[in-house]
Structure 1
Amino acid sequence: PWGGRRGFDSLVQAATGIAVTQGSAEDPGALPAQALDHGTGYLLAAAVLRALTERSEDGRGRLVRLALARTAAWLTDGIARDTGGPAEPGTENRMTGLAHDSPDSRLSDRDSPIGHLRYALPPIAFTDGPTDWSRPPGPWGTDAPRWL
């Protein structure tokens, strides 16, 4: 029903109930990233690759349509809503079941070729996965143009 409307991640988070899930009706919250923009972008990239693969097989084009509201529905499907109030640091996130850490627990610092940095750690963590970026950034234009 929102097909003719423009999307803006934060507004769609509010309209689909994500903001209430991350806070309360009186004090809505927000996801720590523009998850709907990112998620929809990833889905679009995957859909384009799929369409190109299928076109190489049958020669037919494809129409790919995505929406921030649909991504929100997929991300929240089956998640129990608890609107009892905002989550405090160290408590469980009502939407994901993950612990809320203090913002400082998601930051680190190190020296780099461009000076001392304070930066956000990778947004996704998993068992035996990386816990930090492999290297700090350097001055613009000093990296060779290659895949690492």
Structure 2
Amino acid sequence: MRTRQWLFLLKAVISLLIIKAGLRLFSFNRFKKLFSRVTKNERNVTHSEQYVQDTAWAVRTAAHVLPVSLTCLPQALAVKYLLRLDPNLPLNIGVQQSATAGFEAHAWVERAGRIVVGEWPEGKTYRPLWVWE
């Protein structure tokens, strides 16, 4: 791997571990307030498509190699944090209810209507309940 990829991966690992710890230590409302404070930005930067894809790749890769469970929510939060200067990447939390699977929740990050991280299997559709800009 190139140095740039290692740096993306290192940032993703650190972000995921801190987010995972925060989600376990705090109530979601408290975590949300803290996360909003650290992701608040005064300036806007539109990242290149390659930068966004490299960040998403690093988060997905780190989530699969770390020895802890890092589901869609920590992954979406990590991407949102790492790309926090870009206002065009909302984090969505949605639900699906089906007769066979019951109630399911899912988190994903989009850019221009395309999912950056948090893709779901073919045939599933999640209805957004909350969008975190």
What range describes the TM-score normalised by the shorter chain of this pair?
under 0.3
More helix by share: 2
Query: TM-score, normalized by length of structure 1?
Result: 0.24
Query: TM-score, normalized by length of structure 2?
Result: 0.26
Q: Which has the larger radius of gyration?
A: 1
Query: Whose relative contact order is higher, 1 or 2, with alpha carbons under 8 Å and at least 6 apart?
Result: 2
